[in-house]
């Protein structure tokens, strides 16, 4: 009996030793590479102009102990070998799912990293790498995808003009804001000087910036100003990257009853033209005193834009709200869409201001009797 007992103890010891040796040689980080990509199909085409997304999906990676695997999707140029991928991102679910949903806007940025120009088409190569702890697999299988990049850019909420050539100087924190004028359009009225300037989506150093080349926006960089103290209207369109400028020569108040310009308003900065201490006298007619007026902007030396009321005819604004003073582009006409001065303006010295900036809800003006 003692012999059998000793034999049993010896057998258990051997089993325990072998088990320990096997456990000591097993690596919990073993993970197999991803060997099959499901979607999108090879050479699939995507027009990134639309507000859409693309779904990536692949086969699961196995581990020697059925443990948790995380995934990263790698992107490279068409001829790249993933030794230095241009972009990589974790899959859905913080890297735990075998899918990645990528917005077209993000894929558009990846295409830019691959050197595919705005408005151009090109190919990207993609693959999936499985990781377990510090261990990562190599790329085993790849696919290509073709993308058509939009000519424009995603439309930001805010846009600013910055740089030494601007009227606020090189201080980024003081950069003036563009006014949004449409779904994808912005503009700013400002003084431009010699030096460098750029467009930015924020007043922080890491905000997306744009420069201008050949009347087109391009990502990053700065633009050398061709101006020397002129007042400029700078217009940008994120849908197509177009840029246009006008030099504002004069802003004048036109008095319809006399068919004459009473005075010019000098530009004082911040998108504001202002003149002080101006005597304004209404015209006496048989039916009463006529007080109609509007404004004319002269730009690029010999071109004109009239600004007036949204209403074809008005009453005196003695008790009107701020909407009365809003200014809108109008056609040339002596009488239509004119404003009317308030009663207190007649035979008084007045300060007159025109505000075309992002601080007002609509472009507007004010006339303040002194």
Q: What is the pLDDT of residues 73-126, one digit of tens each?
A: 999 999 999 999 999 999 999 999 999 999 998 999 999 999 998 889 999 999
- Per the CB < 8 A criterion, the answer to whether 50 and 104 are in contact is yes
Distance CA(269)–CA(266), nearest Å, equals 9
pLDDT greater than 80 at residue 364: yes
* Percent of all residues in the chain with a pLDDT value above 90, rounded to a whole number: 82
pTM: 0.71
CB atoms within 10 A of CB 106: 16
Q: What string of DSSP letters covers 266-327? A: PEEETTEEEEEEEEE-PEEETTEEE-EEEEEEEETTTEEEEEE-SSSS----TT--GGGG--
Distance CA(218)–CA(241), nearest Å, equals 8
pLDDT value of position 198: 98
Give the torsion sign (CA, 160, 165, 170, 174): negative
pLDDT value of position 224: 98
pLDDT greater than 80 at residue 13: no
- Which residue do the tokens 């691959």 mark? 114
Domain ranges of the chain: 37-148, 160-240, 248-369
3-state secondary structure of 107: helix
Distance CA(137)–CA(128), nearest Å, equals 9
Residue in 34, 142, 170 with CA at minimum distance from that of residue 85: 142
Distance CA(102)–CA(145), nearest Å, equals 13
List, in order, residues 6 or more apart from 60 with CB less than 8 Å away: 69, 98
3-state secondary structure of 19: helix
Band (pLDDT 50/70/90 cuts) for residue 29 is: low
pLDDT tens, residue by residue, 147-158: 999 888 889 999
Identify each DSSP E strand in 173-241 by its residue range.
Answer: 176-177, 179-180, 185-192, 196-200, 209-213, 216-219, 223-224, 230-237
pLDDT tens, residue by residue, 297-313: 999 999 999 999 999 99
Distance CA(113)–CA(288), nearest Å, equals 69
List, in order, residues 6 or more apart from 109 with CB less than 8 Å away: none
Band (pLDDT 50/70/90 cuts) for residue 25 is: very low
pLDDT greater than 60 at residue 339: yes
Tokens standing for 152? Answer: 């424009």
- Which residue do the tokens 């102009």 mark? 49
Q: What does the pLDDT average to over 198-209?
A: 97
Residue in 205, 206, 174 with CA at minimum distance from that of residue 190: 174
pLDDT greater than 70 at residue 18: no
Distance CA(365)–CA(57), nearest Å, equals 58
Domain covering 248-369, topology = Immunoglobulin-like (2.60.40)
pLDDT value of position 9: 47
pLDDT greater than 50 at residue 24: no
Cα 201 vs. chain centroid, distance in angstroms?
5
Average pLDDT, the chain: 91
Q: What does the pLDDT average to over 169-181?
A: 97
Distance CA(330)–CA(332), nearest Å, equals 7
3-state secondary structure of 94: coil
Residue in 348, 365, 357, 346 with CA at minimum distance from that of residue 274: 365
Q: What does the pLDDT average to over 180-187?
A: 95
Q: Does CATH place domain 37-148 in 3.40.50.10490? A: no
* Angle ∠(234,163,185) on CA atoms, nearest 5: 30
pLDDT greater than 60 at residue 253: yes
């Amino acid at each position: 009996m003692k012999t059998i007992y000793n034999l049993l103890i010896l057998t258990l010891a051997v089993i325990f030793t072998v088990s320990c040796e096997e456990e000591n040689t097993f690596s919990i980080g073993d993970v197999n590479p991803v060997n099959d990509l499901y979607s999108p199909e090879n050479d699939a085409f995507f027009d990134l102009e639309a507000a859409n997304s693309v779904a990536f999906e692949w086969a699961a990676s196995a581990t020697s102990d059925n443990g948790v695997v995380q995934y990263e999707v790698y992107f490279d140029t068409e001829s790249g070998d993933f030794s230095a991928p241009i972009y990589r991102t974790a899959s859905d679910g913080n890297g735990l799912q075998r899918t990645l949903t990528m917005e077209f806007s993000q894929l558009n940025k990846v295409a830019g990293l691959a050197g595919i120009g705005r408005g151009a088409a090109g190919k990207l190569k993609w693959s999936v790498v499985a990781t377990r702890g510090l261990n990562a697999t190599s790329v085993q299988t790849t696919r290509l995808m073709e993308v058509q990049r939009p000519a424009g850019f995603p439309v930001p909420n805010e846009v600013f003009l910055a740089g030494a050539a601007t009227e606020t100087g090189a201080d980024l924190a003081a950069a003036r804001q563009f006014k949004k004028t449409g779904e994808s359009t912005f503009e700013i009225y400002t003084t431009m000087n010699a030096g460098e300037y750029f467009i930015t989506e924020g007043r922080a150093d890491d905000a997306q910036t744009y420069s201008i080349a050949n009347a087109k926006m391009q990502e990053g960089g700065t633009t050398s100003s061709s101006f020397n103290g002129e007042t400029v209207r700078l217009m940008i369109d994120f849908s197509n990257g177009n840029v246009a400028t006008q030099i504002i020569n004069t802003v004048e108040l036109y008095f319809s009853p006399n068919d004459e310009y009473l005075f010019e308003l000098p530009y004082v900065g911040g998108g504001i033209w202002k003149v002080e201490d101006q005597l304004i006298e209404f015209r006496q007619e048989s039916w009463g005193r006529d007080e109609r007026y509007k404004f004319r902007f002269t730009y690029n030396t010999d071109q004109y834009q009239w600004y007036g009321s949204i209403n074809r005819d008005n009453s005196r604004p003695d008790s009107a709200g701020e909407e009365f003073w809003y200014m809108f582009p109008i056609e040339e006409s002596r009488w239509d869409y004119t404003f009317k001065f308030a009663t207190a303006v007649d035979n008084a010295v007045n300060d007159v201001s025109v505000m075309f900036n992002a601080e007002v809800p609509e472009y507007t003006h004010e006339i303040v009797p002194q």
